[in-house]
Structures are given as C-alpha cells and as structure tokens.
C-alpha cells in the first residue's frame, strides 16, 4: 500500500498477447498490477494480427482494475507512461478509426517482398543495417507498409496514419498522433539520428506513403492530456499527463535499471533477447542483431531469437496438456528437471520456434525448432529438460556473439522466475546473474518516462537508478562440466542445421 499523499506513477505495457498496467511509488515499488490476455489472429501461415478494438478494451480494463487494486484515489496518479510491442502497422483513417486488423512485429507476410528487393539490390540488407544497426525483421513497419501498398492499396487510399501499438493507445487516450525515437529508428530508420530516414523510406519505394508516418517526439516528453472519453473508460482523471512512451525493449531496460553504459540485460520472455548498453551506436558484429536507441541517451546493442518462454508454453500445451492449466505446473516442471540428468540423456532441442526463423547470431528466416537424438529411452521429462536447456544454450550463444566482458548480467522476463533456469544460465555464462525485484519492468520503465515527463526526475537515467535490487545468482562449479558437454553437443546439432555461429 502506498503512503497517503505520496506521488504515484502509472505504466501501461501492451504486449502481443498480454496487456498489463502497474502502479509504482517514487522508489519504484510495485503497488498494484493488473493484466488481461488478448487474442492473436493467425489467419494464414506467417500472419500475426491483433484486433485494435480488443487491444483498446483490454487497456481500459487493466487501467480500471489496477486503480482498484492499488486502493488509491485516482487523483494520486501523477502521470501515465506507455510501452508496447514494437514495429508492425496499425492503419487508421482520418477519424482515427482502424481500417484493418493491426499487423504485429512477428508477422512474416513481407518475406517474399524482402527477397525480391534484396535480389534486385545486393546491398539492400547492408544499407539497412548501416542506417538502423538492425537486421531487417519481416514485421518491421516499412516492409509491412510496402506489402500493404502492393496487396491492399484500397486500404492505404483511405489511410491517414500508419503507427505502432503504443501510438494507437496514446491516440485513444489523448487524441494526439505521434511516435517516439526508439520506434522511429527501428522501422527501419536512422539510429544515429534517432529518428526516421528518408533513405530507408525510399529504399522500400514508399515516398508516396511517407506522409502516413507520425511526427517523432522524445519518449520522456508529455504527448498530451487524458481526454474526457478516455477518462470515462479508464477511470483515470481527465487532464492526466500522458508521456509519449517507448517500445517494450527500451522500456524494460529502464524499468530493470539497465540504463547506464556497460550494463548487460537479458530478457527471457516470450521472445529471448540479450544485449549491452553503450554510450554510442555500435554496429559490431556487422549484419546481425538489433540496436535500440534508449530514451534520454544511450543505445542497447542486442541479439535476439524470436522465441524464449514461448518454447516452454508450446511444450506444456503439446507435451503436457494435463499440466498446462494447473497452478502448480512450474512445480511439476522442477520435478521433471530433478528426475532427468543434465544433457537430457543425449536429447537436444533447437528453440527456434517461430515462423520468421532467427535473426541472431546469424540470419536464417527458415530456421525452425526441432528435437535431435530422440530415442525410446526418452520420456516427457527428458523433452522438457531439453527445451529448458535449449533456450539457455541459445542465450549463451547470443551473449558470446556480443563478446561481453562485463562482471554480471541482469535477467528479466517470465523465465527469470524459475530459479533452476536462472542458475543454468548463470553456470553457462560463468558470471553472476542479477534478477531485479519486481515483475513488470516494461510498465515500470513506462512509468519512469511519465515521471520524467512531468518533471519529477531530471533524466531517464536518474529515474532508472531507483529500480530496486533483487536476487543474485553466483556460478556453481558442481554442474559446469556436464552442462558444458551438453552445450557442446547442442552447438554441433545447431551447426548441422543452421550453420556455424560467430565465436563458435
């Protein structure tokens, strides 16, 4: 419970399938949390879409619920900050009404168009990386917009705006159309300039569509004030300052306290990402990975595989439907790990469970998840261990590609709640792993952006320093040898299927 009269900050974090809101005090303590699941439509192979109306309704619901859970007067909230899944395309008409379902970051319908453009111009991907610092993802806004221009021109003829997830929510909250620098630089844009790039727009042949893209503003600035309609639907006070906000990755960095150069943060969530904060844009190793400008200053150089805990969700749904909905499923998981040896008795799992393949440490849109070495002796428990180990091994691959020399790594995401998984990662990288206190780091980062926007902190970095300490894991020598042998076998299997990685 918050102290009476103390300032409180609200963060809204809209993910692909879960929308969350959380209230924080000035020290970063979570006062209350609310969440609601939303549906992802996959009408065709490789398609991934969200209903904008459902997304808005879910946001209103969690904002109302979190206020109730916090037990505070709505006037106690100083500001609202936003975070969401990045890129994709939310297409609106002149009245701000959606013209079609929103296309998400994991959508791969643009792959054939990208293949066509790269065949016509061999320097296509190199030009994108040199500008954005990111390998091109099929769900990025510009290739999706190019696909729409080719396949749904009648939609774009009616369109006035093409924006991202949080930008749509902010429009509904304030009536203002805008995007932030973390988003504009990765659509792809210019990471050095921290904004969009006319050259990138031209590379996709989208000069005629450039006017659909929104104005760019700083994440930690006030975008507008909560309008009367949104106040009625969310339970928040009309006139509440709403910050521009940032994408989910930069917001998570801030919320976990990893805003200073030299910080390393891994996210073991639905997707899996490992990266390091720098004080200038870093383009090494070339041609792979992602580079996110952070609000305020700094850049996060990251390596990402499309699937993290999604592998475990798949395993429960497919291998153990009897456990999938049980409250004690993670206790059952721990028991399966206890019952099987490190290395899963020779069973390996490649955790590339995505229709869009992998983008680090190599780019392979056709990489897919698979078990190797499956034999009659293997049980369901062996398969679960192989999945857990496979994700940990993939994370170790990502950190090796970054040549990280720091002293420890921060770890967030749903997977960080499993101590055995965290210890496995800690032993693999042979560095201490710090799991920050709390659970809603994207929402906390969004809340800090709101706090900076209303002047309660002098900078984003100063606000991020208030993220609290948590659990510290130290490397253990007990399992290192067996884990190393299993990792070596995994690399052999992975190399046979998708090729060798940098630093192998």
Phi, psi of 461 (to 5 degrees): -65, -40
pLDDT at residue 467 above 90? no
Tell me the pLDDT tens digit for each residue of 134-191: 999 999 999 999 999 999 999 999 999 999 999 999 999 999 999 999 999 999 999 9
Mean pLDDT of the chain: 94
Global confidence as pTM: 0.88
**How does residue 466 score in pLDDT terms, banded at 50, 70 and 90?**
confident
Beta bridge partners of 161: 92
Domain assignment of residue 25, yes or no: yes
Average pLDDT in the 214-240 region? Answer: 98
| 107 and 83 within one domain | yes
pLDDT at residue 257 above 70? yes
Average pLDDT in the 405-423 region? Answer: 91
Provide the domain count of the chain.
Answer: 3
DSSP H or E run through 115:
helix 111-120
Q: What residue has token string 């399938």?
A: 17
| Beta strands, E only, 202-258 | 216-217, 222-225, 241-243, 246-247
Tokens, residue 253: 């960095």
pLDDT at residue 504 above 80? no
| 258 and 114 within one domain | no
pLDDT at residue 248 above 60? yes
Tell me the pLDDT tens digit for each residue of 188-205: 999 999 999 999 999 999
For residue 363, what are the contacts with CB-CB under 8 A and spacing of at least 6? 135, 287, 288, 357
Q: How many residues does the chain have?
A: 504
With CA atoms as reference, report the closest residue to 313 among 6, 17, 41: 17
Of 203, 221, 247, the position where a domain reaches its end is: 247
Domain assignment of residue 430, yes or no: no
Range of the domain at 326: 310-404+474-498
**How does residue 304 score in pLDDT terms, banded at 50, 70 and 90?**
confident
| 95 and 34 within one domain | yes
pLDDT at position 224 is 98
Q: Are 79 and 451 in contact (CB under 8 A)?
A: yes
pLDDT at position 184 is 98
| 182 and 295 within one domain | no
Tell me the pLDDT tens digit for each residue of 57-69: 999 999 999 999 9
Tell me the pLDDT tens digit for each residue of 441-455: 999 999 999 999 999
Tell me the pLDDT tens digit for each residue of 264-302: 999 998 888 899 999 999 998 899 889 999 998 899 999
pLDDT at position 360 is 82
Domain assignment of residue 412, yes or no: no
Q: Are 220 and 460 in contact (CB under 8 A)?
A: yes
Q: Are 351 and 304 in contact (CB under 8 A)?
A: no
DSSP 88: S
Give me the CATH number covering residue 380. Answer: 3.30.420.40
Domain assignment of residue 503, yes or no: no
pLDDT at residue 121 above 60? yes
| 148 and 68 within one domain | yes
Domain assignment of residue 155, yes or no: yes
pLDDT at position 463 is 93
pLDDT at residue 1 above 60? no
pLDDT at position 431 is 93
The percent of residues in the chain predicted with pLDDT above 70, rounded, is 99
Measured in whole angstroms, the distance separating CA 328 from the mean position of its chain's CA atoms is 27
pLDDT at residue 111 above 60? yes
**How does residue 502 score in pLDDT terms, banded at 50, 70 and 90?**
confident
pLDDT at position 503 is 73
Tokens, residue 248: 């989910």
CA distance 300 to 188: 15
CA distance 88 to 67: 30
| 272 and 329 within one domain | no
Tell me the pLDDT tens digit for each residue of 66-85: 999 999 988 899 999 999 99
Q: Is 374 helix (H, G, I), strand (E, B) or coil?
A: coil
Domain assignment of residue 420, yes or no: no
């Amino acid at each position: 419970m918050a102290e009476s009269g103390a300032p409180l900050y609200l963060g809204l974090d809209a993910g692909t399938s879960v929308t969350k809101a959380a209230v924080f005090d000035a020290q970063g303590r979570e006062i209350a949390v609310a969440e609601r699941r939303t549906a992802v439509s996959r009408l065709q192979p490789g398609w991934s879409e969200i209903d904008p109306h459902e997304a808005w309704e879910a946001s209103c619901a969690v904002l109302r619920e979190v206020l109730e859970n916090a037990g505070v007067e709505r006037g106690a909230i100083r500001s609202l900050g936003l975070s969401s899944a990045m890129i994709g395309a939310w297409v609106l008409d002149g009245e701000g009404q959606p013209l079609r379902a929103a296309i998400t970051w994991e959508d791969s319908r643009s792959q054939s168009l990208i293949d066509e453009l790269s065949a016509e111009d061999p320097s296509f991907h190199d030009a994108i990386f040199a500008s954005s610092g990111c390998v091109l993802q099929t769900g990025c806004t510009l290739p999706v917009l190019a696909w729409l221009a080719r396949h749904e021109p009648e939609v774009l003829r009616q369109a006035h705006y093409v924006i991202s997830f949080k930008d749509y929510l902010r429009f509904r909250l304030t009536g203002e159309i805008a995007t932030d620098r973390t988003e504009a630089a990765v659509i792809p844009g210019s990471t050095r300039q921290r904004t969009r790039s006319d050259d990138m727009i031209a590379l996709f042949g989208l000069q005629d569509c450039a006017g659909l893209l929104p104005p760019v503003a700083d994440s930690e600035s006030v975008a507008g004030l909560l309008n009367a309609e949104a106040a009625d639907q969310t339970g928040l006070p009309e006139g509440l300052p709403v910050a521009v906000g940032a994408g989910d990755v930069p917001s998570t960095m801030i919320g976990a306290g990893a805003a200073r150069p030299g910080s390393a943060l891994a996210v073991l969530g639905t997707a899996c990402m490992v990266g390091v904060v720098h004080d200038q844009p870093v383009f090494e190793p070339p041609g792979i990975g992602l580079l996110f400008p952070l609000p305020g200053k700094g850049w996060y150089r990251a390596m990402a595989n499309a699937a993290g805990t999604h592998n475990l969700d798949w395993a429960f749904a497919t291998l153990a439907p009897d456990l999938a909905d049980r409250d004690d499923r993670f206790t059952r998981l721990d028991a399966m790990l206890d019952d099987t040896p490190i290395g899963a008795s020779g069973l390996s799992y490649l955790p590339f469970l995505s229709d869009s393949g992998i983008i680090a440490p190599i780019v392979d849109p056709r990489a897919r998840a698979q078990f190797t070495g499956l034999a009659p002796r293997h049980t369901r428990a062996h398969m679960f261990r192989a999945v857990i180990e496979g994700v940990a091994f993939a994370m170790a691959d990502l950190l090796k590609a970054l040549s990280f020399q720091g002293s420890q790594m921060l770890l967030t995401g749903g997977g960080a709640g499993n101590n055995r998984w965290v210890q496995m990662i800690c032993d693999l990288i042979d560095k201490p792993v710090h799991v920050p206190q709390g659970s809603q780091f994207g929402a906390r980062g969004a809340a800090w952006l709101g706090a900076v926007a209303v002047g309660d902190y002098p900078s984003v970095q100063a606000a991020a320093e208030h993220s609290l300490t948590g659990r510290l894991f130290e490397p253990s020598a007990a399992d290192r040898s067996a884990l190393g042998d299993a990792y070596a076998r995994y690399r052999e299997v992975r190399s046979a299927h998708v090729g060798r990685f940098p630093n192998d």
